[in-house]
A and B are shown apart, each in its own frame.
Chain A
Amino acid sequence: MPEINLGALKEMPEIRSKACNKLYHKREHCSTKLLSSYKGMVIAAIDLVKASGSMRCYLRDSGSSSIIKYSDEQEDPSDHGDGGGIPVFSCFSISFFEDLAGELVKMFTRELSLKRFLVMDLLFSTSMEDGRQEGIFSWSDDLYTGEFNDLRSTGMLVHDGFYLSPPQIMDWQSSDPSNREPLISPSHEVLQVYLTTWLADLNIEMNRVSEIFSVVGDAIGVKLA
C-alpha cells in the first residue's frame, strides 16, 4: 500500500492510513475464515475416519435369551466382527471394504496435514507483518484450541499421540517442518504457489477415489457418485 501511486487521491487526508486499516481488517477477517475452513476439514476427516472404522459388527452376549443381539463393541476377542471373513453384499469381505476406506483416509489425512502446513505458514506470515510475536510458530502447537484433541481420533498423531506426523506429498519422504524456511513477506509468486498447492489437492488422486466409489457402489448395489 505505501508504494501504490494514488494519483489525484493522494490529496485526501489520511487516505493511505485509512486504506491500510481497511486492508488490515480484511486480512484479519480472511485469516479467521481460513482457520475455520481448516477446522471444518478436520471435522470432516474425523467423520471419515470414524466411518471407516465402524464397519464391523459384533455379537453381544445375550445370556439365556434366544434373541441375538449385536453391538459396535467387541466383547469376545475371538469375534472379529466380520462374520469370519465371509463376503458381505456380493463378493467382498469386510476387510476388503476397510482397506479401500483406509486408502481414502490416508489420502485425505495426508492432504489435511499439507493444508495445515499452508494455514500455519500463512498465519505465521501475517502475524509477522503485524509485528505480533505471538502466533503459531511450531508444527507441534495447536492451530486452534483443542486441535490436537480433534486430530487424535484421525490417527494423525504419532508417538503416543503427542506428536503430529509431518506433512508429506503422496509417497515421497516426509521431512521435519521445523527445518523449513519461515514465510516472511512472501512475494506474489510464492503466494501463487501456496494457493495452487491449496487448490491442487496433491494427495488426493481423484481417479483412484472415483474408482473406489465405483467398485464399492457396484458391490453393494448403490450408486455412490
Chain B
Amino acid sequence: MMLKKLQQKYARIKDEIAQWDELQSQLLSQFGNASSIIERLPVLSEDKNYGGLKFLPGIKEALLGKQMVTLERIFFDMKDTMKEIYGVVLSIDKIVQDAFQILRGSTPHQMHLHVGIKPSLQQCLDGLKAVQAMYKAEYLFKSSVVSSLTCKCSAGEIAALRQLLTDQPNISKMEVQTILK
C-alpha cells in the first residue's frame, strides 16, 4: 500500500527529470549561441577583418552594437531557463516532502521490511532523497557556471564552461537510473 504510493512519487520524479533534461538542452543551445557571439566579438572589433566593407561608415559600430543587443537577449533568456530549472528543483522538493508525509506514521519495523524482492520503504525514501540532493546541487552549480559566462571570456574558458554545463557533474545518470528502477 505505502509502497504503491511511493512508486507514484517515483513516477512524478521521472516526469520532473524529463522536464529537467529538456531545459538542460535548451540551456545548452542558448549557451552555444551566446558563446559563438562572444567568440566573434574580437574578430568584429578589428578593422582589418572588414575587407571591402571598410568603406561603409558606421558598419563596425552597428555590427558590434547589434551583436551586443542579441547577446544581452540571450543572457536574459538563459536567466529565464535557470528560473524554470529552479522550478523543477522545487517540484522535486515537494515530491520528497510528500513522501515523508506518507511515511510519517510508519514504525521502524515497517520501514525496513522487505516483501519479496521489493525494496523496503526506507530504501525508497533514501532513493528519493538522493535524487533530490543531486539535482539541488546541480542547480546551484549551473547557476554559478551560467553567471561566469561574460563577454570577456576567452575561447578556452568558454569551452571549459560548456563542458561543465554539459557534464552535469553533480548528477550521476547511472545512479539515478538505478534508483528509479
Contacts and interface: CB of A to CB of B under 8 A. Distances in A.
Interface of A: 114, 117-118, 121, 167-170, 172-177, 179-183, 186-187, 189-190, 192-194, 196-197, 200-202
Contacts of B53: 117-118, 121, 180, 193-194, 197
Q: Is the interface of B mostly helix, strand, loop or mixed?
A: helix
A124 B20 CA distance: 49
A169 B56 contact: yes
Contacts of B116: none
A214 B58 CA distance: 29
A197 B60 CA distance: 10
Q: Is the interface of A mostly helix, strand, loop or mixed?
A: loop
Interface residues of B, number: 19
Given A169-B56, A172-B57, A202 B50 contact: no
B52 A182 contact: yes
Interface of B: 40, 43-44, 46, 49-59, 62-63, 66-67
Nearest to B39: A192
List of 6 A-B pairs having minimum Cβ-Cβ separation, nearest first: A172-B58, A169-B58, A190-B51, A180-B55, A189-B49, A183-B52
21 contacts: A114-B56, A118-B53, A121-B52, A169-B58, A169-B62, A172-B62, A173-B57, A175-B56, A175-B57, A176-B55, A180-B54, A181-B54, A189-B46, A190-B49, A190-B51, A192-B40, A193-B53, A196-B40, A196-B67, A200-B67, A202-B63
A201 B50 CA distance: 16
Contacts of A180: 52-55
Contacts of A182: 52
A181 B52 contact: yes
Nearest to B57: A172
A175 B49 contact: no
